[in-house]
Structure 1
Amino acid sequence: MGERWSAAEDGRPEGQWLTAVPWAELPVVDLTGLGERFDRIVVLSAHPDDETLGLGATLAALAATGAAIEVVIATRGEASHPHSPCLSRTDLADVRSDELTAALDELGLAPAEHWGLPDGRLGEADTHLALKELIDDLLQWHRHEGLLLVAPWSHDGRADHDALGRVARAAAVDTGVSCIAYPVWLWHWGTHEDLPVADLVLSCPGADALHRRGRALDCFESQHTPFGRAPGAGPVLTGQARQRAERVADVLIDPDGALPHRRVPGTVAPGEFNAMFEHGDDPWHVETSWYEARRQALVEAILPHQMLGRVLDLGCSTGRLTAALAAQAREVVAVDHSAEALRVARDRHITNVDWRQGSLPSVLPELEGPVDLVVLSEVGYFLDGAALMATLSAVMSLLDGDGTVLAAHWRRPTREIPLDGRLVEAQLDSLWPTTARYTDDDVTITLSAPHRPAVTRGGR
């Protein structure tokens, strides 16, 4: 595809990808197994920052396992601001090189190797030949190792990405090297019809790796901060481009099935919650904790209507909040995957609540819509990125056209669970328009309107 789009425009809203990608159906990469399967991982990037935008959290997670990772940058990115009077191309290339070194350090990676090919010209005949020779030499150098080659997707829609992806893929096929790809700008211009769905896999790094990626993206100031007010000095990475890069799951393309897949669900097991009830029926102290009482009062205060209609309470636990919702609702469907929590909840004997046991997201197709309100109170971070995205996608299909999602998140650090409240909050913010918000040091509570059209900005 030619570049018939502009990075200065916001592109496709992130919320549209929530329903375009079949999150619940895609396999999830076993990152530990990946590091064990390959002796070395070589990541090719057309420009400084592509690797961080496309799979930065995955690289951080792999680095934490001790995987041997080498990053190679084909160009120095000197053409990112071709009309800016603020920096020469040489100076901009130096800035971007320094930014990349800082970003890779945040990801736990060594400084990159730079090939220094001309930015914007990887597909031209003379540069294309030099690129092919460099990749051939690279594969020859690592010929005795179990190598995984990672390259931009060859249909990413940016000329340098496509050229590098094509050459890398062809060289890998010729030498029998495993090769996977990562999209960057597809998310900007593409639609679901442009996705190679049969080849997609998800990578679900943990909270630490996701936060490392966020700090790495912050390093690329030349790309997301304007140099000044002069024409051509605006940012390349707009707000939505950053949101697409900060999903809680990375999407990779694995046409040959080279990557090992995880065989366990990406959620905290029900048994772990059930075990917490061995010493009493209120392991979370929801009946006595000041924080729990305060959070529930804040949730009740931000409810969208006095009478709520039909409500879906996901992760209802022992039902304290469910009881308050039921007092204002025609009907509540309350779901939790802990049998012990539901045992306590049912003892409340609330007549207009349908208690359901099941795990997210697998239980959601069993539920009937439409519902007027979905409540996600301190549940999102018990899911990994794939499970969270699949849950949010299913929530959209269950919601009435005017329906609302109420989400509450503990904002303090978490331990030994997949995500944390700040990550879940940011993911929801990127997907759906927010109609109300309360935030303090402990908790964030938001109301979102998933079916309300997103407001986008034109230009820079």
Structure 2
Amino acid sequence: MVTFDHREPGTDPERWTPLLDALTPHAVDVDLDGFAAVLVVAPHPDDETLGAGGLVATAAARDLPVEVLLVTRGERSHPDSPTVGPDDLAVRRDVEFHAALAALHPGAVGTSLGVPDGSLREHPDVLRVALDERLASATGRVLLVVPWRGDGHRDHRVAGEVAEAVALGRDDVSVLAYPVWAWHWDDPDAPAAPWDRPLALALSSDALDRKRTALAAYRSQTLPLSPAEGDEAIVDRRHAAHHLRRTEWYFPVDASPSPLPRSRSRSRESFDAHYARKPEGWDFDGSWYERRKRAVTLAALPRERYRSALELGCATGVLTAAITGRADRVLGTDISEVPLAQARERAPGARFVRAALPDDWPEGRFDLVVLSEIGYYLSPADLDRTIERVLGALDDDGVLVACHWRHPDDEAVTDGDTVDARLAERWPRPALVRHVEEDFVLSVFPGRSTRSVARAEGLVR
């Protein structure tokens, strides 16, 4: 999952125009005449309108049946709202969804699956079963319209992956993928989306008018809930402009298995793209969560001073700078060069090199190795090899400190608990420290001769 903030201006809609004008779509139009029905998957209320509203309206003009599977009720669209809670927002968005669908296609059926907003990753079978049932009962060819799985939102990715996996191998189903948030975060000059293979649906004036009317029905999204901070519009005029063009754009879906089981580490290109969009990476300096987590990490170090420290995946060097106050020599590595430029300014007393784990391993011995928020971006095989590399480079009196986020991350290969469990399984000795809370898990794994703080100070024998 890419990282974006809908409150940021994002890509100017006009910046997309030269790219779109220069395209020669592989299919200029979607021939709906060959289908018996259209089935749309919408992770949240308004996704069906933003991404495929013109197609649904076009289907109405051709008397083609449409069903929209609404995965969640979108109750978390305003998590910081001081005026409207999730339950009230869910009710409001239910009403808006049905009004919007009636504007697009008066005969369309809207079915709510009731998955908690943001939690489709934990409940993929709800969507899978619903799709299996619809496709199994279909009496003709079905056009399945789903979110593009690279769109940048967790629910969008999982919805796309599940739908594509269900459709795989079915000769009576064709799949189109629509972008929603990619218009906002992607760069037309170096796009991540597959614009080399687009499909375009030219919208009639009636279809575009219906789409505008449908989007206007989502007052909770297109207008502020109140003047209070946290109640800002989600889909303001700038966002809406991406979706109210005279052409609706789609991507074809490759006939390949769902990528849900991941076997490759996260790529350098994906990190480079992240830092190109957000040069500061994550909010390491401003976030209390990040500042507190660093304090917990430093407090967990069993020695006051270290000879040589290695931080793997140092990003912009915020934690590295803190480690320089506890070690004589500090080396930070990261897979991307962009954050290392900031790290060198932030921690001039440390040394930094670009390195991809586990192949690009630095030379030397270390009595402190820090593996923070990077283990779950490694494939199981690469994580095992990284553990072996650490064991081979760690002094007998050294420690490995591993700290990882426990919530879902769409770009992750595994998760924090899996990484921590694998480290504990492969490490020769039990952890000296294991701190677990809802948000992160931190473990300190000792070298062969590392002792507890009390034993090292002679307080116990």
Q: Select the residue among 196, 212, 215 that pairs with 1:214.
A: 212
Give the match's secondary structure for 1:165: helix
CA contact (8 A) 1:10 1:238 kept: no
Tell me whether 1:183 sits opposite 2:183 in the alignment. no
Q: Which amino acid aligns with 2:159?
A: L
The residue aligned with 1:48 is 45
Counterpart CA distance in 2 for 1:132 and 1:14 is 34
C-alpha distance after superposition, 1:24-59 (max 9, x if no partner):
41245445xx22201111011000100100121222
**RCO (CA 8 Å, sep 6+): is it higher in 1 or 2?**
1
Counterpart CA distance in 1 for 2:185 and 2:124 is 25
Q: Which amino acid aligns with 1:221?
A: R
Offset at residue 171 of structure 1 (A):
0.9
CA contact (8 A) 1:8 1:238 kept: no
CA contact (8 A) 1:8 1:237 kept: no
Q: Which amino acid aligns with 1:182?
A: Y
Counterpart CA distance in 1 for 2:225 and 2:197 is 39
Give the match's secondary structure for 1:171: helix
Q: 1:90 to 1:174 in 2, by over 3 A?
A: farther
Counterpart CA distance in 1 for 2:5 and 2:195 is 25
Q: Which amino acid aligns with 1:134?
A: A
User: 1:33-432 maps to which residues of 2 (within 5 A)?
Assistant: 34-109=31-106, 110-124=108-122, 127-142=123-138, 144-176=139-171, 177-192=173-188, 193-255=191-253
Give the match's secondary structure for 1:131: helix
RMSD (Å) for aligned C-alpha atoms: 1.8
CA contact (8 A) 1:201 1:254 kept: yes
C-alpha distance after superposition, 1:73-107 (max 9, x if no partner):
00111111112122221211111111111111111
The residue aligned with 2:24 is 25
Counterpart CA distance in 1 for 2:134 and 2:206 is 31
Q: Which amino acid aligns with 1:104?
A: L
The residue aligned with 1:418 is none
Give the unaligned 5+ runs of structure 2.
256-461
Give the match's secondary structure for 2:199: strand
Counterpart CA distance in 1 for 2:170 and 2:13 is 37
CA contact (8 A) 2:164 2:253 kept: no
CA contact (8 A) 1:28 1:204 kept: no
Give the unaligned 5+ runs of structure 1.
258-460
Q: Which amino acid aligns with 1:102?
A: A
Offset at residue 22 of structure 1 (A):
5.2
Q: Which amino acid aligns with 1:72?
A: L
The residue aligned with 2:338 is none
Counterpart CA distance in 2 for 1:88 and 1:138 is 33
CA contact (8 A) 1:121 1:160 kept: yes
C-alpha distance after superposition, 1:149-179 (max 9, x if no partner):
1100010111111110011011111434211
TM-score (ref. length: structure 2): 0.52
C-alpha distance after superposition, 1:322-372 (max 9, x if no partner):
xxxxxxxxxxxxxxxxxxxxxxxxxxxxxxxxxxxxxxxxxxxxxxxxxxx
Offset at residue 238 of structure 1 (A):
2.0
Q: Which amino acid aligns with 2:136?
A: Q
Offset at residue 234 of structure 1 (A):
1.2
The residue aligned with 2:320 is none
Counterpart CA distance in 1 for 2:34 and 2:157 is 27
Counterpart CA distance in 1 for 2:103 and 2:126 is 31
Q: Which amino acid aligns with 1:130?
A: V
Identical pairs, percent: 35
Q: Which amino acid aligns with 1:114?
A: S
Q: 1:12 to 1:167 in 2, by over 3 A?
A: same
Equivalenced residue count is 251
C-alpha distance after superposition, 1:373-417 (max 9, x if no partner):
xxxxxxxxxxxxxxxxxxxxxxxxxxxxxxxxxxxxxxxxxxxxx
Offset at residue 130 of structure 1 (A):
2.8
Counterpart CA distance in 1 for 2:21 and 2:254 is 20
CA contact (8 A) 2:150 2:157 kept: yes
The residue aligned with 2:416 is none
Counterpart CA distance in 2 for 1:68 and 1:29 is 22
Counterpart CA distance in 1 for 2:109 and 2:128 is 23
TM-score (ref. length: structure 1): 0.52
Q: Which amino acid aligns with 1:152?
A: P
Q: Which amino acid aligns with 2:65?
A: A
Q: 1:112 to 1:29 in 2, by over 3 A?
A: farther
Give the match's secondary structure for 1:197: coil
C-alpha distance after superposition, 1:241-284 (max 9, x if no partner):
11111111100112369xxxxxxxxxxxxxxxxxxxxxxxxxxx
Counterpart CA distance in 1 for 2:25 and 2:32 is 20
Q: Which amino acid aligns with 2:24?
A: E
